[in-house]
Amino acid sequence: MIVSRPDPARDSLDVVAIQLEYDRSEPYSSRIRRVDDLIDDTAGADLVVLPELWAHGGFDYDAWTNRAEPLDGTFLDTMSRAAKRNSIWLHAGSIIERENDTAGARLWNTSIVLDPDGEIRATYRKIHRFGFSDGEPRLLTAGTEPVSTGITTAAGAETVLGLSTCYDLRFPELYRELVGAGTEVLVIPAAWPRARVEHWATLGRARAIENQTYVVQCNLAGVDGDVALGGRSQIVTPDGTVVASAGDSAEIISATVELESLRELRRTFPVLADRRLG
């Protein structure tokens, strides 16, 4: 378990999820510029979240090897400057990360959290790879460790983010580990298909309720090859209430994460203390 953990948090933070519409015909460089501009529209937020593989394509398997880049590549350079320019915590979604430039180098589906100075504060390599015998299991190396990271806003609010990606949402044991490390806000970028979007919505509420956490889900919309993407990004409170939700096209949603309310719920209804397994 990798965890950076602050002192007990207080107050609240303003969260924005940018649901992007994916189109394979859009050049990579144009997509990066478009999203860079959208991040500027979130000025004043504390935490901004982007979807999984929004730059590299969630189902564009044939392009992954060529598009893969190291953590110090063009993608992270642009996202770092955006975080610093807007003084925000930025969950930049995920990229196809390349280990190095050698032939046959390992690839991962890696999420990145940047602080308001543009520095990488956490990276998470997706543990549960989607595709069964194809897609991610065929092309990518699985991550091995849950990751959470402490964040502090400009106003002094502190909390712990727990990181996961898309298909991870179906594996509740991961979230129990994250909660054990102090997580209060689960952040889940995704490229979740429209065919199973009701699962996406329902499982997000379930993870919030069973772990007494906020859940921030940021999905892709549009079409990736022959896969219609589901959209329906949402922000869920620890009692399972959806306080912000998107439709099935590009949309920006926002909500205030009330940290004291979360802690009060855990104090007055302490179900997590009654865990007996794991």
Phi, psi of 131 (to 5 degrees): 135, -5
* Selection from 220, 262, 221 nearest residue 241 by Cα: 262
Query: Tokens representing 121?
Result: 């504060």
Q: How far apart are CA 245 and CA 253, in angstroms?
A: 7
SS3 228: strand
User: Any idea which residues carry the catalytic annotation?
Assistant: 52, 126, 166
- DSSP letter for 164, please: -
SS3 77: helix
Q: Give the helix ranges, DSSP H, for the chain.
A: 28-40, 61-67, 74-86, 136-139, 172-180, 197-211, 259-268
Query: Tokens representing 98?
Result: 């390349």
